[in-house]
Structure 1
Amino acid sequence: MSEREEECAIGGDILEEIISHVPLVDLVSANSVASSWRSAISTSLLRLNTVKPWLMLHSQSTRSPSAVTTLAYDPRSHLWMEVQQPSSSSNSSSSIHYFSLLRSSPSSLLYMLSASRFAFSMDPLHLNWEVAAPPIGWRPDPVVAAVGNHIVVAGSGAYCGIQDDDTIPPLEIYDTTTGTWEWCDSMPTELMDSAASTWLSVAADQNKMYVSVKRSGVTYSFDPRTKTWCGPYNVRGDDVESVFFSVIGCGGKGMIVVGLRGEAEDVRSVVMWELLVETEGRRDEWEMPFQLVEKLKGESEYMPSIHLNVMGDFVFVHNPLEAREVVVYEVKEGACRWGSVTAAALDRDSCRFRNLVVSCSNVTLPYLERARNSTLLTRNKTHAF
């Protein structure tokens, strides 16, 4: 044992228990103290307080140069942090110039799209971006999803009154390994009738993209490798009539569906299902506690829609009209654990004049060690989830 390791002789279960209360971002430096500490950190993260997906809030100025402030929430540590992005004037490959509105879809993918450029990031803290040529057809409000090594951009320019149907393929696929675009000439009629992200919810796993009509719940799947659609699927089960709005996401064991019951002016409840979409087999159903529904509504009783982000066993739901409040639930072994977090650092009034984008990411200790050049600033503790 080295002299330094002798000075850090505390170990075993005691050290692992202490580590379980240390924020993940602070374990970056602790992991280099000694080999015994590295072993204890690894064991503690595996057994006591596991790494959980981070919630990311990106607040973008609507004025040039469209600067973005990113806040990250770590549910494991109950801690908000600010992510300092590399300067866009640097020569680093990670730097990015925000040339259009920032968007997310689904969960971990951030992108910007203009008539001349397409930029995207799937990096956990979005420190690294790739810039590519844009799709052949211009779509003001497309459905976008990352499926394996492909990024799918779907939607019709004709829907927005810009071009005729024949001038834009309904769907284009970007291959991230070759940097090339491919066309797909087919899209279900029910989706083409609502071919914009305003009306469609999208989810993706490593093999397929799932697209669901938010008002009806009618859902289809698309395989970018074979360019084939399957469906329609009924993801609402017996709640087709009582649910007026629903969104989808891909979780660790299947599809997550979150729906609003009642009507926009009087949301009676928020319900969540976990199911196997292609067999339409419902696994479990949970109803959001009343006090959390009230938090989602915020100051207004009007809640016409919700946004959903899913990563593993964690589900993040927010009301786009009151985006500072996020309901979090963890689905594990058939049980649902509910909670909520508030982004106190975001001023309620200023949010109304900024583009606010929500995403989530798997941020691991090895990733944080590689991203040392990014400064994470602790903001405040929140109540435990």
Structure 2
Amino acid sequence: MSDTNPELSNFNALNIDVTESILSLLPIPSLVRFSSVSKLWRSIITSLPPSPSSSSSPWLFLFGIHNTSSFHNQSFAFDPLSNSWLRLPFPSLPSLHLVGSDRFLFTTAPRFSFSPIFKPNWRFTSPLRFPRINPLLAVFSTSSKLILVGGVGSIGGLVNIDDRLPVQIYDSTLDSWELCPPLPAAFRSNAHETLSSALYKRKFYFFDISSCFISSFCLDTYSWSDVQTLRPPGLLFAFLNSCNDTLVLGGMCNSDRGFSFNLWRIEEGSMEFSEIAIMPEGLLCGLVDNEDEEDGGNKYRTLKCVGSGNLVYVFNEDGHKKYPACLCEIGVENGKCRWRIVPHLPSPVNKFHKLVTFCSTVSITDVFHSQIGA
């Protein structure tokens, strides 16, 4: 190909370091396409080190699950650097109990297993000591360990919502599970439906969306902190995230100014909060249906947010508007935040019974061998 394309021949004649510098500025979807241009480009692209912009700009992953027909399942990934959605192949394993975190997908039933998002290679773990459905989880210790918290017990297809299940930690190098103390009693037994979590400085934080209780599990001592209350004025509900080496709370407020979606920085230990940003009113209106002005804050109840790096994504889980979303870039302009809308999902978009959403950093090696499309 390079023999018949003078422009490509000139590009290949560049110093390798210069070529690497140019290619490293491109978003990952572009690199995937350009890797097929020539063997030289393919070699350079696959050897590129992770770029700082990629590590601070996590992708948003959305896995839509249809309860009765797997044919209607769909999965998408949003790259903030190219400002575009990509379609992903949907996982082949049973999807009703799908969970995602840090470049991995997990299934909790009928057996616990995990796989890289972009290159499905499912690995079944040794049996869980206490099987469960819909837990919260996080990957830590350089992706070699996994912590599993909350959820509801599952034995022989039967669910037990009255049992406070112990925390379980999985060591992938030993293929073994370790039992630890369960969630504090202040958290309801069905907290898998109301809990938000964030991994921050070797602690796994849990925030109850309704009660605003917060506690953390120390990954060094395997112990829980005291339960505290974190409720900024006017807070209706919120979600906890770890962004740019700080805890960030994002949620809906109702104040004298009306309804707003706010972001707060949370101080570790004291749980004191300071406002980071407020979503522009126009963006908030674009996420919800404004036809009914008398439903109070109920129309905002389907809003969720996830965050990592310098980004917080806010999206609507209701399929009526085809899952609109926006994002906030934290501290990009003289320490200030910048909001922008996320493009619509590529059509056609099905209506789902459940959404599995999370964000994660992505490298070119993660996606190079995957089959993705715009």
Q: Which residue is 2:211 aligned to? A: 216
**Per-residue deviation at 1:218?**
1.6
User: Residue 345 of structure 1 corresponds to which residue in structure 2?
Assistant: 346
1:177, 1:345 → 2: CA distance? 39
The superposition leaves residues 200-254 of structure 1 with CA deviations (integer Å, 9 ceiling, x where unpaired) of 1112246221111101322100024422001324444xx24x1011110111221
CA distance in 1, matches of 2:239, 2:50: 35
SS of equivalent residue, structure 1 residue 375: coil
Match of 1:327?
Answer: 326
Deviation of the 1:286 alpha carbon: 0.9
Tell me the alpha carbon deviations over residues 8-56 of structure 1, each in whole angstroms, 9 at most, x when there is no partner. Answer: 2676999899758854223246466658x959x9699668x98732222
Residue in 2 that maps onto 1:56: 61
Amino acid at match of 1:293: L
Query: Aligned in 2, Cα 1:291/1:106: closer, same or farther, shift over 3 Å?
Result: farther
Aligned pairs for 1:1-385 within 5 A: 7-8=10-11, 23-28=27-32, 30=34, 34=40, 38=44, 52-65=57-70, 68-84=73-89, 97-104=92-99, 108-114=103-109, 116-121=110-115, 123-125=116-118, 127-148=120-141, 149-157=145-153, 162-163=159-160, 169-191=165-187, 193-205=188-200, 207-236=202-231, 239-240=232-233, 242-262=234-254, 268-282=259-273, 284-298=275-289, 302-322=299-319, 324-332=323-331, 334-347=335-348, 350-351=350-351, 353-368=352-367, 371-372=368-369, 374-378=370-374
Q: Distance in 2 between matches of 1:275 and 1:79?
A: 31
**Which letter does structure 2 place at the counterpart of 1:26?**
S
The answer for unaligned runs of 5 or more in structure 2 is 293-298
Decide whether the 8 Å contact of 2:100 with 2:356 is kept in 1: no
Q: Residue 299 of structure 1: CA displacement?
A: 5.6
Q: How far did 1:338 drift? A: 0.5
**Partner SS state of residue 294, structure 1:** helix
Q: Could you say what secondary structure the match of 1:278 adopts?
A: coil
CA contact (8 A) 2:66 2:354 kept: yes
In 2, are the aligned partners of 1:203 and 1:209 still within 8 Å (CA)? yes
Cα displacement (A) at 1:164? 8.2
Are 1:221 and 1:229, in contact at CA under 8 Å, matched by a contact in 2? yes
Distance verdict in 2 for CA 1:215–1:30, change over 3 Å: same
Q: Which runs of no fewer than 5 residues in structure 1 stay unpaired?
A: 86-95, 379-385
Structure 1 residue 194 displacement after superposition: 4.7
**Other structure's SS at 2:269 match:** helix
Asked if 2 retains the 8 angstrom alpha-carbon contact of 1:152 and 1:224, the reply is no
AA paired with 2:166?
P
Are the counterparts in 2 of residues 60 and 102 from structure 1 also a CA contact under 8 Å? no
Tell me by how many angstroms 1:156 deviates: 5.0
Task: Quote how far apart the aligned CAs of 1:305 are.
Answer: 4.4
Counterpart secondary structure, 1:8: helix
Distance 1:366 1:108, change over 3 A: closer
Letter in 1 for 2:323: R
The answer to whether the 8 Å contact 1:233/1:278 transfers is no
Q: For the residues of structure 1 that align with 2:236 and 2:373, how far apart are their CA atoms?
A: 41
Deviation at 1:147, TM superposition (A): 3.6
| More divergent stretch after superposition (25-34 vs 8-17) | 8-17
**Structure 1 CA distance, aligned partners of 2:191 and 2:347?**
28
Describe the shift of the 1:17–1:340 C-alpha distance in structure 2 as closer, same or farther (beyond 3 A). Answer: farther
SS at match of 1:257: strand
Counterpart residue type for residue 248 of structure 1:
L
Aligned residues: 349
Q: Distance in 1 between matches of 2:124 and 2:200?
A: 23
After superposition, the CA RMSD in angstroms is 4.0
TM, length-normalised to structure 1 = 0.75
TM-score, normalised on structure 2?
0.77
Quote the offset at 1:260 in angstroms: 0.8
Do the aligned residues in 2 keep the contact of 1:219 with 1:232 (CA within 8 Å)? yes
Q: Tell me: CA distance 1:21–1:214, structure 2 relative to 1, closer, same or farther (3 Å).
A: same
Deviation per residue, 1:247-301 (Å, 9 max, x gap): 10111221110111129xx971110012233232435421111011112213665
